[in-house]
Amino acid sequence: MAICDVCFRKCDITEGKTGFCRVRSARDGEVIQVNYGKVTGLALDPIEKKPLSRFHPGSLILSLGSYGCNLRCPFCQNSDISWSERAYEYEEKCDFINPERLVDMALALRTQGNIGIAYTYNEPLIGYEYVRDAAKIAHEKGLVNVLVSNGTASIKVLEEIAPYIDAMNIDLKGFTEDYYNECLGGDFSMVKAFIKRAAQVTHLELTTLIVPGKNDTEEEMMQISEFIANLEDENGEKIGKSIPLHISRFFPRFNMTDREATDVELIYRLAEVARKRLDYVYCGNV
């Protein structure tokens, strides 16, 4: 057995089995990543789709994902690879792309406007070793690296990949313990700590999906924007006011079809609330 230290779950994994995320396993008493290099999605995307609005706008970036996740969001947009039963069928059938080949593919796409690699689609940090290895080589070849994450990982993991990551978009899904614990199966404190450190080591943008009846009040948006505005750099100077926040519209899907899509006017109203504290607020899916 071995204990995984990637996230708050601290899974005690039996030899040959996997933890909650289904991609970290125990082999000879050590925790390893079983989805290393196993790719379920690969596309050349606009950088704004990550979403990143203030990092190389107008560029394209080679985006890839694997399978598995350490949260259980009922509205997941990529449930087939993140946490439905189908996701774990990918272990045997998805393509294997080692870091060197991935970087070569990214370099070949430079003529089409590609600037680097984005680790996205499922949760990339449950397989941080692959991110670390590929991103290091990509940097050596002059490419940028982007991470799109739920932020549910230890600072130890962040420090290991930080030297090679040029930008992150992290989901700040709400601002209450209840929402994170009961609805998402997550850990609010871990996400806040991850965001605070990420703001010090890379270009950071944040995304909040507004789910009707869950995190859709002006009061909660005031708390979110206040938290962001107070983020500091490594010297203790406040830098959060200039960190972009993407406020995104929910649509019923997967295991959350019991409510309507978020009202567009509500998205605009919450954006105005956030703009009282933040310089850059963007509305998504409207």
pLDDT per residue as tens digits for the range 55-102: 999 999 999 999 999 999 999 999 989 986 666 677 777 899 999 999
The pLDDT assigned to 94 comes to 87
Contact 215, 259 (CB under 8 A): no
Q: Which parts of the chain have pLDDT scores under 50? A: none
CATH of 2-284, one of 3.40.50.10540, 3.40.50.300, 3.20.20.70, 3.40.50.720: 3.20.20.70
The pLDDT assigned to 170 comes to 98
- Residue pLDDT, tens place only, 15-24: 999 999 999 9
Phi, psi torsion values for 201, nearest 5 degrees: -120, -5
The pLDDT assigned to 218 comes to 98
The pLDDT assigned to 84 comes to 66
Give the domain ranges of the chain.
Answer: 2-284
Alpha helices in 7-98 (DSSP H): 79-82, 90-93
The pLDDT assigned to 140 comes to 98
The pLDDT assigned to 89 comes to 74
Tokens of 77: 């947009």
Q: pTM of the entire structure?
A: 0.97
Contact 102, 117 (CB under 8 A): yes
Distance CA 162, CA 115 (A): 18
CB within 8 Å of 91: residues ≥ 6 apart? 34, 35, 38, 67
The pLDDT assigned to 1 comes to 85
Distance CA 132, CA 284 (A): 29
